[in-house]
Structure formats: C-alpha cells, structure tokens
Amino acid sequence: MPDKDAGTPRVFLYRHGQTEWSKSGRYTGVSELELTEDGVQQVLASGKMIVGSGKLIDPSNIAHVYISPRRRATQTFDIAFNDADKQSLKDAEKVSETDRLSEWNYGQYEGLLTREIRALRKEHGLDTERPWDIWRDGCESGESPEEVTDRIDNLIQEIRSIHRGNMHSENPCDIILVAHGHLLRAFTKRWLGYPMEFPLSLMLEPGAVGVLSYQHHSIDEPALLVGYGFPLQE
C-alpha cells in the first residue's frame, strides 16, 4: 500500500551539537559558546548519515535553511553540510540567519542550573505554591512564553506560506531549522497548535534531528513525525 502522506513538505529540526554548558545543564541563551569536540563529532555523525544527495535531508529538496544567529548554531550548519551544498544553497538565496530561532532569552537565569534558578526565584518571593516551569512562568528579565510564542508563530506563518500550494512536492519544499533545545521544542508545540504550557514532554539531543510535517497533504493538519523511514543508501 502506498504511503498516503509521501511527498508532503517537511520541517527538519536540527539542534546544535554539545557545548560545555549544554553538557553541564546550564541554561544557554545569548552567551556565545563553541561546540565541544564531542559536539563537533555529534554533528559530523548526523550530517554524514542524513545530509546529502539521496539522503533524508537532500539539498535538492530544500526550500530554505533558517539558522539561529548564535555561533553554536551557525557552526552546526557549517559542519553538517558539505562546502558544495552550502555554496549552492547560499547562491540560491536559500540560507538565512533569523533572531526568530534564537534560544529563549533566559535573562537572570543565563548560565544557571534549574536548581539554582528555583533557589533564586524563592529568594525573590516567587513560586510559593508550585515550582518554576519555564513553559508557564518564563524568565525574569528575559522572555515570557508569550514573547517566544509570537516570534515562533511569525516564522511558522512564513514557512506555511512556502508549503501552501506545494503539498504534493510540486516544488522543493523542505525547511531546515538549525537552532536550540528549548527553542525547537517550543517550535514543535506551536507547530502542533499547543500553548507553551501544554504538558507535552519532548526530547532532542545535541546534534540530533527531529521531523515535522502534515497529515493527508493538508496545510491544516500539521503533524509530528514520531518515526521516519530512511532512504536506501547506494
């Protein structure tokens, strides 16, 4: 039986590789950190497996690559794609950096661990009835869930304008997002129409790739691909 959703446009969520702070669990928003050596190897491994002609992320099928302006994200794109594919995409004006993919602005919580954030908020007289939850409470002097929602929704609207009218692969329509752990999980919630505080537990390892798409070739049925079949490699 043929796959009823074959050829539907996809959005690939490419998380940057490991940094020293992601390794230790410290919240990393605006700070500029390089990938660790393990982080470089994570991206090299995923890129070698799924990026390239005839692979899951085939440059010939890409409509646009959106990249967070943070160094760890741009470094990930540089490693995952070979030089020829990067140049071809750039020459076709299919690559851009956008603040809409910047990691959540953690404000006073930048560089802290979750337990340190909760202790700080307790000192500030917050969370007397329940523990801090970034999806509901946001960050002091940083972004609220509503602010993150607004910039993600703006990008989703732009992506859907590319996908609309191309739901059966009429034109190359895959979108690549190279960004961050919290931001890409937030993007997934909004793609599916859930508010930030909706209790949808999502995991995305450093250097890993998630996939979003649509059901029934319908722009009105955004979906999360929880499993994906890989192309046969020659």
The answer to whether residue 4 is domain-embedded is no
pLDDT in tens, 38-84: 999 999 999 999 999 999 999 999 999 999 999 999 999 999 999 99
What is the pTM assigned to this prediction? 0.94
Looking from the CA of 191 toward its CB, the CA atoms found within 13 Å total: 24
Q: What percent of the chain has pLDDT over 70?
A: 95
Annotated binding site for substrate: 28-29, 72, 103-106
Under the banding of pLDDT at 50, 70 and 90, the label for residue 172 is: confident
Q: How confident is the model at residue 1 (pLDDT cuts 50, 70, 90)?
A: very low
Q: Distance between CA 14 and CA 57 in Å, rounded?
A: 11
Main-chain dihedrals φ then ψ at residue 133, nearest 5 degrees: -135, 115
Positions annotated as catalytic residues are 16, 103
Cα–Cα nearest to 173, from 229, 219, 204, 207? 219
Instruction: For residue 193, give the CATH number of its domain.
Output: 3.40.50.1240
**Residue 82 domain-assigned?**
yes
Which pLDDT score, from 0 to 100, does residue 227 have? 78
For residue 233, pLDDT beyond 70: no
Q: Does residue 57 lie within any of the structural domains? A: yes
pLDDT interval class at 230 (50, 70, 90): low
- Mean pLDDT across the chain: 94
Give the pLDDT score at 232. 62
d(CA 132, CA 114): 9
Q: How many domains does the chain have?
A: 1
- Residue 231: inside a domain, yes or no? no
Tell me the residue range of the domain where 116 lies: 11-224
Long-range contacts of 1-5 (CB under 8 A, 24+ apart): 4/216, 5/213, 5/214, 5/215, 5/216, 5/217
HSE, side-chain direction, 13 A CA sphere, residue 198: 15
pLDDT in tens, 77-131: 999 999 999 999 999 999 999 999 999 999 999 999 999 999 999 999 999 999 9
Class of residue 112 by CB neighbours under 10 A (exposed 0-12, middle 13-18, buried 19+): middle
